[in-house]
Structure 1
């Protein structure tokens, strides 16, 4: 597959922090865990910075689903539940891929992928669409394969894999669809990569904190509290990582997510990173400042 060449200077410029409001879509396996719900709410509660144009339901397969299609459909209905609780039903929600990529050039057609192509083609390098992905990146990779020109008009922000120094990158979002991950890493699309360990892994909270600062924030606050409460049988000395808010935190205030430009890493079949310095540059988040991120989220929930 040939992708449109993007001059490195232009790619770097698009990966620089941008002022003003950002147009974004959110690709999420919302039923898979409890952190996606927090990310959806955080995005919607940040209108000063983010204009959420659409949600895409992503596939997932674990003990909460019978397969990628079932995971995607459960995520689709979970998204509807959240926007209804927040009275934000005007934002469209699209069903995503029913399976993972079967090969490096084999997109999976879906409502989500087609909508992403349409929105991206109506965007521009000067006013790019931010594609925030907090799941297996099947929908995004499929859209790129369906219409490679969209890489000229988007910036992908993906929570995927572990830190480059980690022993391997066997992480749920990445390992589910290695073909899709490679498409995004190899295509030259401007990419912000947020590793789970050990960047997003800083975003731990507890039931006590959620009860104090989230529970009383309207219907959605109570729902987030119940979701957190029910995720574990014993909350004594227990904390949980809310991984997915890392992507929203990056867009809201990049000062809380220090990052560098690096060569796009090479992904092996057994989910390991290697570096080839001749490859194009991406932005790589090295650390996330836990306290200011949760402070911003909790304050924004007060207004709900």
Structure 2
């Protein structure tokens, strides 16, 4: 069984505070799975006052848009290349293929270029300047890196869109439920974790085709790409809105008042995907709301810059 180093509580709590400065980050994304990842990728690159994106990792996913986790990861990798072709800010940022599958059992990592790069990049980081690992898909690559080199706990902060709000009846959410072993690894490891739940929190971040037409479409090639991505996500946009979940993680780093959060004990995750509380466990930071208008105003403004 892998043993993770335990951060002194004072240091853990310090890491769980918003950095209040520009940070280095990597973005782990299942970019082809939904339309929100594309918005998040571009939002991060358009926020150089808050973050420096050092690398992108393609995460696995499996649903009706892929033939399996490997295919989902490859499609996400190719979608990142597509964005790079129309976004000059992304030209020199490396993109790594992630895991071809989920963790087959607890404690056994999935080998990938993404996980290996995360280990290397984290271990080269100073403890005074931790690497922020922003994950907006299944947490397989991040969990694998933790299992490969547990010492990276001392060098990183994970910001993950995963699960549902802690009061939700269940937490059968796509990112979390795809890889139970990976999700438990991250929640149990003691790594500094900022958790942004989906239902009940990031679910506030909905927009409409009309809004995208007005504030996104005419913002150059990137605006047109995001507009077409949104337009094509539904055959009927009458009375329809779509949640752009993943931008919540970037918004937290830009301004934590937009994604308010509190310290909680890291929840236990059951086999049937439900939360339970154990007050003896380490702390994480968990978001409990998203100020929708503030986040979209910032995103729409930056697309025009």
TM-score (normalised: structure 1): 0.99
- Cα distance in structure 1, aligned partners of 2:273 and 2:78: 31
Q: Per-residue deviation at 1:124?
A: 2.4
Q: Per-residue deviation at 1:203?
A: 0.1
- Cα distance in structure 1, aligned partners of 2:174 and 2:126: 32
Once the two structures are superposed, what CA deviation does each residue of 1:151-204 show, in whole Å capped at 9, x if it has no partner? 100000000000111111000000000100000000000000000010000000
Please give the residue correspondences for 1:177-188 in structure 2 after superposition, counting only pairs within 5 Å: 177-188=179-190
- Cα distance in structure 1, aligned partners of 2:277 and 2:236: 42
Match of 2:203 in 1: 201
Choose from 129, 132, 137 the match for 1:130.
Answer: 132
- Cα distance in structure 1, aligned partners of 2:130 and 2:219: 33
For the residue of structure 2 that corresponds to 1:220, the secondary structure is helix
Match of 1:60 in 2: 61
For the residue of structure 1 that corresponds to 2:42, the secondary structure is helix
- Cα distance in structure 1, aligned partners of 2:18 and 2:6: 22
Q: Per-residue deviation at 1:84?
A: 1.4
- Cα distance in structure 2, aligned partners of 1:256 and 1:245: 11
Match of 2:12 in 1: 11
* Preserved CA contact (<8 Å) 1:14 1:125: no
- Cα distance in structure 2, aligned partners of 1:279 and 1:255: 26
Match of 2:42 in 1: 41
The aligned length equals 303
* Preserved CA contact (<8 Å) 1:60 1:71: yes
Once the two structures are superposed, what CA deviation does each residue of 1:180-239 show, in whole Å capped at 9, x if it has no partner? 000000000000000001000000000000000000111011000000000000111100
Match of 2:76 in 1: 75
Please give the residue correspondences for 1:141-160 in structure 2 after superposition, counting only pairs within 5 Å: 141-160=143-162
Question: Unaligned regions of 5+ residues in structure 2, if any?
Answer: none
* Preserved CA contact (<8 Å) 1:80 1:89: no
Once the two structures are superposed, what CA deviation does each residue of 1:92-115 show, in whole Å capped at 9, x if it has no partner? 000000000011111001000000
- Cα distance in structure 2, aligned partners of 1:139 and 1:75: 14
Could you say what the CA RMSD is over the residues aligned between the two structures, in angstroms?
0.5
Q: Per-residue deviation at 1:19?
A: 2.2
Question: Unaligned regions of 5+ residues in structure 1, if any?
Answer: none
Once the two structures are superposed, what CA deviation does each residue of 1:38-71 show, in whole Å capped at 9, x if it has no partner? 0000000000111000000000000000000000
Match of 1:50 in 2: 51
Match of 2:264 in 1: 262
- Cα distance in structure 1, aligned partners of 2:49 and 2:223: 20
Q: Does 1:249 align with 2:251?
A: yes
Match of 1:280 in 2: 282
TM-score (normalised: structure 2): 0.99
